[in-house]
């Protein structure tokens, strides 16, 4: 197929789709993660081994959420990055830290849940908070090492206002595709298989052994559902369409044309919006792992109802006084 017959790629789609998603994630994510981190710090003495990973999960989310206002401005200005090349790379680096840090800490939570349910006697008293902190540091280091090469790829046209690529410019797209595939295997596929194996075996044990506590069963199954939701909505589409989009850019650079280029580009932009939702959905892990949260939610609802009742009662008082005065 000739280059002239290629269907036009709709580059304007990202300007219409991504800003509303970023606004939604920014507001929801800050509220949810801020509340979750406050509750964790308030109950610091009760901090369990898994909650150490949940704390790091929240910190990774906050780190990425703070970069969203700059990305909102970028897409509202129709892809004109005015904050310089260095800050563009820092913004993309924070996204990668959040993405692969979240995957890493969710994997750690899965392994800990698996050990607690399938091998409770072997790990009882052997896993401490110190172990969890050490593992968390190792996750941050590993994710940083994986994400660091991305900083060396060109993402802008110098310091002039222009594009801030989430991958790289077309000159290095072939090398970036190879890097992205390796990154996907080590940063996503391996953790995903570990998580899948842990929860697959754990689900069998939960349903076949009667000795397992019912509350623990329900909490584990809810957590399993949440993780499946996160991987299915946020992580799998992003990695699939990111690499397909890079491949299409390689083909375009080689003067080849395929009818699916535009569809893959749009799907990639949608997956970029979905993957940032993990910063708003990750607090669900905290919600299911902390038994104090439901009680706090009920208290919050009761206070909200009382506040509305007081407002409604106060709004009727001036009306009655005015009628008496008349």
CATH number at residue 179: 1.20.1070.10
Q: Does residue 98 lie in a domain region?
A: yes
**Structure confidence at residue 319 (pLDDT):** 43
Q: How many CA atoms lie within 13 A of 207 on its CB side?
A: 7
* Paired residues of 162 in beta bridges: 81
Q: Does residue 325 lie in a domain region?
A: no
**Structure confidence at residue 7 (pLDDT):** 65
**Structure confidence at residue 135 (pLDDT):** 94
**Structure confidence at residue 147 (pLDDT):** 95
Cβ atoms of 81 and 161 within 8 Å: the answer is yes
> pLDDT tens, position by position, for the chain (326 residues)?
444 456 677 777 888 899 999 999 999 999 888 887 777 777 666 556 778 888 899 899 999 999 999 999 998 888 889 998 899 999 999 999 999 999 999 999 888 888 888 887 777 777 888 889 999 999 999 999 999 999 999 998 766 678 899 999 888 999 999 999 999 999 999 999 999 898 888 877 777 766 556 666 676 677 777 778 888 889 999 999 999 999 999 998 888 888 888 899 999 999 999 999 988 888 777 666 555 555 555 565 566 566 667 666 655 545 444 434 43
Q: Scanning the structure block, which residue is given the tokens 């699916």?
A: 260
**Structure confidence at residue 71 (pLDDT):** 93
Q: Does residue 321 lie in a domain region?
A: no
Q: Does residue 290 lie in a domain region?
A: yes
Q: Does residue 302 lie in a domain region?
A: yes
**Structure confidence at residue 181 (pLDDT):** 96
Q: Provide the residue range defining the domain that includes 310.
A: 8-316
How far apart (Å, rounded) are the C-alpha atoms in residues 156 and 1?
31
Cβ atoms of 268 and 241 within 8 Å: the answer is yes
This prediction has a pTM of 0.83
The CB density around residue 304, as the number of other CB atoms within 10 Å, is 10
Q: Scanning the structure block, which residue is given the tokens 């589409």?
A: 237
Q: Does residue 304 lie in a domain region?
A: yes
Q: Does residue 145 lie in a domain region?
A: yes
Cβ atoms of 249 and 24 within 8 Å: the answer is no
Q: Into how many domains does the chain fold?
A: 1
**Structure confidence at residue 2 (pLDDT):** 44
Q: 44: which DSSP letter?
A: G
Q: Does residue 215 lie in a domain region?
A: yes
- The torsion of the CA quartet 270, 275, 277, 280, rounded to 10 degrees, works out to -170
């Amino acid at each position: 197929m000739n280059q002239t017959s290629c269907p036009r790629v709709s580059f304007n789609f990202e300007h219409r789709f991504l800003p509303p998603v970023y606004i939604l994630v920014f507001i929801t994510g800050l509220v949810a993660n801020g509340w979750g981190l406050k509750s964790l710090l308030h109950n610091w003495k009760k901090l369990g081994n898994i909650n150490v990973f949940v704390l790091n999960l929240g910190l990774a989310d906050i780190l990425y959420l703070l970069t969203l206002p700059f990305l909102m401005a970028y897409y509202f200005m129709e892809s004109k990055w005015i904050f310089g090349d260095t800050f563009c790379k820092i913004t993309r680096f924070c996204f990668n830290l959040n993405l692969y840090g979240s995957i890493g800490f969710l994997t750690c939570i899965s392994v800990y849940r698996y050990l607690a349910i399938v091998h409770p006697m072997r790990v009882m008293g052997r896993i401490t908070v110190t172990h969890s902190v050490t593992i968390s540091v190792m996750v941050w280091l590993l994710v940083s090492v994986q994400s660091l090469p991305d900083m060396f790829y060109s993402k802008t046209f110098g310091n002039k206002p222009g594009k801030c690529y989430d991958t790289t410019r077309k000159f290095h797209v072939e090398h970036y595709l190879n890097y992205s595939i390796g990154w996907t295997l080590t940063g996503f596929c391996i953790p995903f298989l570990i998580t899948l194996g842990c929860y697959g075996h754990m689900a069998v044990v939960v349903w076949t052994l009667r000795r397992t506590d019912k509350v623990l069963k329900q909490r584990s199954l809810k957590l399993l559902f949440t993780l499946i939701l996160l991987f299915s909505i946020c992580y799998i589409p992003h990695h699939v369409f990111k690499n397909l989009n890079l491949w299409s850019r390689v083909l375009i650079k080689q003067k080849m044309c395929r009818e699916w280029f535009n569809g893959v580009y749009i799907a990639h932009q949608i997956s970029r919006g979905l993957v940032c939702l993990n910063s708003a959905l990750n607090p669900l892990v905290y919600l299911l792992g902390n038994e104090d949260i439901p009680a706090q939610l009920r208290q919050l609802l009761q206070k909200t109802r009382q506040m509305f009742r007081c407002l409604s009662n106060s709004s009727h008082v001036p009306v009655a006084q005015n009628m008496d005065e008349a």
